Amino acid sequence: MSAPITSRKTAVVTGASSGIGASIAQQLTAAGFEVIAGARRLDKLRAITEPIGARAHQLDVTDVASVEAFAAQIEGAHLLVNNAGLALGLAPAADPNLDHWRTMFETNVMGVLHVTRALLPRLVASGDGHVVNIGSIAGLATYPGGAGYTASKHALRALTETLRQELLGQPVRVTDVAPGLVETEFSIVRFEGDSERAKGVYQGMTPLSANDVADCVVWAATRPSHVNIDRIQVMPRDQAGATQVHRRSTG
């Protein structure tokens, strides 16, 4: 159960127009945070934020100018959830799609770096800041065809752990939330709109939902301020590793 928030805090969530980011924005609002949400698709973002009374601003985490413009609209922040991220394709490392690699690293690693750098002074100034990075079990394991994505998520994990060390003594907590299989737009994006191929990722098993991951974020964010949850690794019961998935026969 989440601890009550005694005074209204401000949370910033990136990649909040759908999936995990949208659920995080919704659940943080319900937990008492004032939420500022960012995403590239402003129309979809507003469809999420308007019903919950959150603020929506356009944000492309890969564009430094966009990040700076986004940050300029935020006076203060207590919580930053770096959720924006993606996977593209399953090409082998010996025959990579270099555009996919660049996009994944620009989004999953550099995007987190850009936003964190822009907002960290506000988090420190709050006296009770918190950075939550949405990683992946792909940051802890590898699998064939996933070199670009797993490399980016390993880099994100290293960034998260280093940030935790560098902020020691500052009033800022740092948390890595590392989910396994979550059924969102993730696989549709990975397979460039091939919904049937995307469905196959979750066939015969029960994946996590976006709300399951959002639960983890809210729980970590609402612990007493002296408590740092370093990492939450969360997977479906049907999954025991990056490639270890129990699938039931569909008949």
In a domain, 239, yes or no: no
Q: What is the pLDDT of residue 5?
A: 44
Q: Which residues contact 91 (CB under 8 A, 6 or more apart)?
A: 97, 100, 145, 148
In a domain, 156, yes or no: yes
Q: What is the pLDDT of residue 200?
A: 85
Structure tokens at 124: 């420190």
In a domain, 2, yes or no: no
Q: What is the pLDDT of residue 6?
A: 46
In a domain, 199, yes or no: yes
Q: What is the pLDDT of residue 68?
A: 98
In a domain, 250, yes or no: no
Q: What is the pLDDT of residue 4?
A: 44
Q: Which residues contact 116 (CB under 8 A, 6 or more apart)?
A: 80, 82, 131, 163
Q: Using alpha carbons, list the distances in angstroms from residue 152 to 18, 102, 105, 134, 168.
A: 21, 10, 5, 12, 25
Domain that holds residue 140: 10-232
In a domain, 249, yes or no: no
Q: What's the domain count of the chain?
A: 1
Query: What's the pTM value of the predicted model, to 2 decimals?
Result: 0.94
Q: Per residue in 47-80, pLDDT tens?
A: 999 999 999 999 999 999 999 999 999 999 999 9
CATH value at residue 159: 3.40.50.720
In a domain, 243, yes or no: no
In this prediction, the residues of the chain whose per-residue pLDDT falls under 50 are: 1, 3-6
Single-letter code of the amino acid located at 215: D
Residues designated catalytic: 149
In a domain, 14, yes or no: yes
Q: What is the pLDDT of residue 198?
A: 80
